[in-house]
Structure 1
């Protein structure tokens, strides 16, 4: 069995007021492909700042976007492999 390894890095940035957290998730595949997704979390002005919550929400949203992109890429690849014989009209 062959094992492959993909690496994801998540970069978290908060604005100066701790109101908005931005997470950038970058996936590197073993074949050298790079995918990037971004997620944001915005603190309600009436809530006290808890940076960990913004980090979790923004990172989760970036990873969710990454997941959707990868599923879309896979579906496109399957469609291309199927060729014209499998196209529906």
Structure 2
């Protein structure tokens, strides 16, 4: 039986809002093996005619930042697979 290796990655999300609660900014940072690996920044903008509900902007901005972070990880994996496939073909 093969022993499984366990790893832990941490994502930190920082959220800020402008003074008018019109723009929410979320920064999602991925830490892998204790080192910063990726950072994604995303925004949510409130329609000026809507009443301010900061929680909605938080959710939208954080979700968008996490989505961008996920896309970066998928791109990393695809590039690694392509490089590995290229090195196997070169043999």
1:35 matched to 2:38? The reply is yes
Equivalences, count: 86
Change (3 A) 1:20 1:33: closer
Helix, strand or coil for the counterpart of 1:18?
coil
Question: Which stretch shows the higher mean deviation, 3-12 or 27-36?
Answer: 27-36
Q: Distance in 1 between matches of 2:37 and 2:75?
A: 15
Tell me how far apart the structure 2 counterparts of residues 51 and 32 of structure 1 sit (CA, whole Å).
31
Pairwise CA RMSD:
1.5
Q: Which runs of 5+ in 2 are unaligned?
A: none
CA distance in 2, matches of 1:21, 1:75: 31
Match of 1:9 in 2: 12
Equivalent residues in 2 for 1:38-57 (5 A)?
38-57=41-60
Instruction: For 1:59 and 1:12, locate their aligned partners in 2 and report how far apart those are by CA, in whole Å.
Output: 7
Q: Tell me by how many angstroms 1:33 deviates.
A: 4.5
Aligned-residue offset at 1:31: 6.4
| Distance (whole Å) between structure 2 residues aligned to residue 32 and residue 23 of structure 1 | 20
Give TM-score scaled by structure 2 length. Answer: 0.88
